[in-house]
Amino acid sequence: MSIKPAIIGNWKMNGTGRDVKLVSRFADFLNAQKIAADVMICPPPTLINRAAIASKGTKLKIGAQDCHIEMSGAFTGDVSAAMVKDAGGKAVIVGHSERRARYGETDKQVRQKAETAISQGLLAIICLGETRQQFNKGQTLQVVGRQLRGSLPSAATPQNTLIAYEPVWAIGSGRTPKPADIIKTHAHLRQTLIKLNSKAGAQYKILYGGSVSAVNAAEILALENVNGALVGGASLSFKDFTAILKSV
């Protein structure tokens, strides 16, 4: 079954108003090129609305990097899924390893955030990944399988949910797993999805993330069950991100 890939740029805590010009450049590039992928940029919350305006009417979509479980309330500093939607966002990244590790987010909380995003008509991008210690102990499949089962909401479908495998030890390190390891992990995630839903499991997009670059993107994207990439630092560079898009 052919699955249209997705390339998603996660800007993390980077970007100010001047970087909206970069969003416009990406949008112009997509309109001028035939890229066989869905493309999205997830800027910080302060830029979601301006990025959405800059990319309106183009092939480029805008998403958010996180959302709160609740729609509103006394949660100073947080952003709700309803706010993301109101600002023009089309998706929300949930369960990124930086959120899981630094803010102690559990699989249950990630699932609740995904449920909230889906309830607002947003695409939920659920992240999974093992630490270096877990990788060294051969626990990768056990860890990501548990995270997937615990983080995937009952309302998830291939249309409203993407899965992103990001080895924690690879993010921002310049290191990536061996192709055989990526294939093995993505195959396990695919089989887990099929076990959870025999009809829809084969249709989910499973993205790879973790030091994806213009140099390694083509090789990674060609691997079995790799249906796109979640790109970090390279998505802040017009040259690097467009090179990744061309490699699809």
User: Is the distance from CB of 184 to CB of 141 less than 8 angstroms?
Assistant: yes
Closest alpha carbon to 66 in 147, 125, 26, 150? 125
Is 166 considered catalytic here?
Answer: yes
Q: Is 232 annotated as a binding residue?
A: yes
Query: For residue 32, what are the CA distances in angstroms to 27, 63, 204, 243?
Result: 9, 22, 28, 14
Q: Is 233 annotated as a binding residue?
A: yes
Bridge partners (DSSP) listed for residue 125: 93, 162
Q: Is 211 annotated as a binding residue?
A: yes
- Which ranges of the chain does DSSP label H, i.e. alpha helix? 20-32, 48-54, 81-87, 97-102, 107-119, 132-136, 140-151, 179-196, 217-221, 238-246
User: Is the distance from CB of 140 to CB of 185 less than 8 angstroms?
Assistant: yes
Q: Is 205 annotated as a binding residue?
A: no
User: Is the distance from CB of 48 to CB of 84 less than 8 angstroms?
Assistant: yes
Is 68 considered catalytic here?
Answer: no
Tokens at 164, concatenated: 């992103």
Active-site pick, 105, 166, 186, 188: 166
Q: Is 201 annotated as a binding residue?
A: no
Q: Whats the size of the chain, residue-wise?
A: 248
Active-site pick, 96, 115, 186, 188: 96
Q: Active-site residue numbers?
A: 96, 166
Binding residue ranges: 10-12, 172, 211, 232-233
Binding residue ranges for substrate: 10-12, 172, 211, 232-233
